[in-house]
Amino acid sequence: MIPSGATDCHVHVFDPRFPYSEDRAYTPGAASGEQLDELHWRLGVSRAVLVQPSPYGTDNSCLLAQLRDRGERARGVVVVDPAGGAPLREWHAQGVRGARVNLATFAVDDPAAAPAPLRATASAIADLGWHLQVFTSAKVVAALADEFARLPVPVVFDHFALASPDVGLAELTDLLRSGAAYVKLSAPHRISTAPDHTDVEPLVRALAAAAPDRLLWGTDWPHTGGRARTPANRLSVEPFEPIDDARALERLLDWTGPVVGRRILVDNPVELYGF
């Protein structure tokens, strides 16, 4: 049973009324706030964390509009230009609680290239009490574990940090136990090769046993990445992946049990995002 106050900590809205960045890596189809609300009604989810998707670049207008529509039911994670100029405190008042550095979408997999954007964004948001949300590979997490631990803000890793029981798990677990990081148990299809993602179960159980108070869950709706991306197709609409979100939530609770599941779905988001 889905606990009252459950939070989907990773969703996007794509509204064509808001223009995409010209240098985007892909072009999504439309995914409206109304469709998101319908999904959450069906799932029994009460709250949402809207995450700035890469096609919008540093123009957070669509995300901020969705926050205004939802009030206390939603929080936001923006993308900022660390050089400054963004009204961060105004955004905080509207419900923004984090800033995202997306390395994986732009194929930044060199650990030597990652510290500069991480440090710059963390420094820009440190006085606000926000967290730094990072989408990167297990390779980068493993190589830069000490760097992540030294940042002046908590780190939230997207999508299992793309880890596996064999790559990045030890470093990720250490960061969670230390209190330096959270990880989103979202988009298991990004790391799975098995039917119903059964190969992700040992990873979830290991993380839940190590640091249940540092785990979050998200659908990653509307599930971008429905085809291989190339420079030639980045401006044509990319299909969404056909993910069963109800099954994803059911599977999470099967793997964690109701007590840890409630912590992941309700208690940890309340603490991190200030619902």
State the Cα–Cα distance between residues 29 and 140, nearest whole angstrom: 30
Nearest to 148 by CA among 127, 179, 125: 179
Residue 222 DSSP SS3: coil
Which of 8, 220, 244, 254 is the catalytic position? 220
**HEC states along 18-77?**
CCCCCCCCCEECCECHHHHHHHHHHHCCCEEEEECCHHHCCCCHHHHHHHHHHHHHEEEE
Distance of CA 184 to the CA centre of its chain: 6
Question: What is the dihedral angle through the alpha carbons of 74, 213, 189, 36, rounded to the nearest 10 degrees?
Answer: -10
Burial class (CB in 10 A: 0-12, 13-18, 19+), 89: exposed
Catalytic-residue membership of 220: yes
Active site residues: 220
